[in-house]
Amino acid sequence: MHYYKYTICTTPDIAEILPAFLSDAPFDTFQETEEGLHAYMPAPSGEGSETEADALLTDLQEQFAFTWNKEFLPAQNWNKIWESNFQPVIVEDFCAVRADFHEPIAGVQHELVINPKMAFGTGHHETTWMCLRALRDLPCAGAHLLDYGCGTGVLAILAARLGAKEVEAVDIEEESYRNTLENSAVNGVAEHIIARCGTLEAVQGAGFDGILANINRNVILDSLPRLAALVKPGGWLLVSGILREDETVVTEAATRVGFVFQQRAERGNWLCMKFQNR
């Protein structure tokens, strides 16, 4: 697959925030750099996606100080590129996330092997890191869970390792769907994970004990009514991809559909929030 690589030069604080604002454009991967941010987007076969992204970036320059340029990347060995950039992630003594070309990591309770390819979610970003940490304290044993926006499948895989009976993992990106299947098999939990490609409409389960939603503010706000219907009374919802400044709007929207705020974690400019269904 051909890609466009957008190089965004800005300060670390703005580089951390921008992916939340760029989520409406068809970028499928973000990588923070010393100069700012790289954003990758599949090269469209016709007009549309590329010009949409260009216009969005131009509009955002009125709010944030940054410059950007783009370059066309012909189809190549994306795995090799990931290998040169992907470093292991360690979440306290709880879990470690590494690729299969890394050496094993000792001293953690759970070691996950995640080969991300072009799917999002390795634990490097604050949002995924917080969700991994939150799973330490969530009741996963014997649970029926939904991982909404599963990316690489890393959260679903850790939940299965923690004893979840079944995790339905869904993502709108075909690459994420395939990557979740591959990583589930590598980690020996394929029998506990059902991966689907699509939106929430593709979810076939109901009465979930808990839902993981590490996506972004807009998708979460739009999905809250459906998520409330999918989780059983007393079940939990963990959301991330929320900027600190959006805490109130997300909490109020969740309350309106029947969720009760329980707790939050903060890392950088990002929040991870837990709610319980009434």
Which of 177, 117, 131, 188 has the alpha carbon at shortest distance from 153?
A: 177
How many domains are there within the chain?
2
Are both 70 and 141 inside the same structural domain? no
Cα-Cα-Cα-Cα dihedral sign, residues 159, 160, 166, 170:
positive
Structural domain harbouring 267: 136-277
Are both 164 and 271 inside the same structural domain? yes
Are both 186 and 255 inside the same structural domain? yes
Question: Residue 117's pLDDT band (boundaries 50, 70, 90)?
Answer: low
Over its C-alpha atoms, the chain yields an Rg (Å, rounded) of 18
Are both 61 and 148 inside the same structural domain? no
Question: Residue 6's pLDDT band (boundaries 50, 70, 90)?
Answer: very high
| Res 130: pLDDT | 95
First to last CA, the chain: 45
User: Vertex 175, ends 184 and 222: CA angle to 5°?
Assistant: 95
Are both 64 and 152 inside the same structural domain? no
Mean pLDDT (the chain) is 89
Section 116-124 average pLDDT: 57
Section 96-124 average pLDDT: 81
Are both 266 and 157 inside the same structural domain? yes
Quick check: 46 pLDDT over 90? Answer: no
Q: Which tokens is 215 given? A: 């996506």
Question: Residue 52's pLDDT band (boundaries 50, 70, 90)?
Answer: confident
Are both 65 and 147 inside the same structural domain? no
Which of 245, 236, 235, 237 has the alpha carbon at shortest distance from 271?
A: 245
Question: Residue 119's pLDDT band (boundaries 50, 70, 90)?
Answer: very low
Domain assignment present for 88: no
Are both 70 and 153 inside the same structural domain? no
Are both 58 and 149 inside the same structural domain? no
Domain assignment present for 118: no
| Res 230: pLDDT | 98
Give the CATH number of the domain where residue 264 resides: 3.40.50.150
Which of 131, 208, 115 has the alpha carbon at shortest distance from 166?
A: 208
Are both 52 and 175 inside the same structural domain? no
- The mean-pLDDT minimum among 29-43, 59-73, 78-92, 128-142 falls in 78-92
Q: pLDDT tens digit string along 192-246? A: 999 999 999 999 999 999 999 998 888 999 999 999 999 999 999 999 989 888 9
Domain assignment present for 81: no
Domain assignment present for 109: no
Q: At what angle do helices 217-230 and 247-256 cross, to 10 degrees?
A: 20
Specify which residues 26 forms β-bridges with: none
Question: Residue 88's pLDDT band (boundaries 50, 70, 90)?
Answer: confident
* Long-range contacts (CB closer than 8 Å, 24 or more residues apart) made by 79-85: 79/115, 79/117, 82/115, 82/116, 82/117, 82/118, 85/31
- The mean-pLDDT minimum among 6-10, 95-99, 125-129, 151-155 falls in 125-129
CA separation, residue 135 to residues 87, 209, 222, 253 (Å): 22, 13, 24, 23
Which of 76, 91, 112 is the last residue in one of the domains? 76
Domain assignment present for 270: yes
Domain assignment present for 59: yes
Q: pLDDT tens digit string along 153-192? A: 999 999 999 999 999 999 988 888 999 999 999 999 999 9
Domain assignment present for 228: yes
Which of 57, 76, 95 is the last residue in one of the domains? 76
Are both 52 and 145 inside the same structural domain? no
Domain assignment present for 232: yes
Which of 76, 105, 126 is the last residue in one of the domains? 76
Give CA–CA dist 86/74, Å, rounded. Answer: 21
Quick check: 118 pLDDT over 60? Answer: no
Q: Taking the model in full, what pTM does it have?
A: 0.78
| Res 120: pLDDT | 53
Quick check: 121 pLDDT over 60? Answer: no
Is there a contact between 39 and 10 (Cβ–Cβ < 8 Å)?
A: no
Are both 144 and 64 inside the same structural domain? no
Name the percent of the chain lying above pLDDT 70: 90
Give the CATH number of the domain where residue 17 resides: 3.30.70
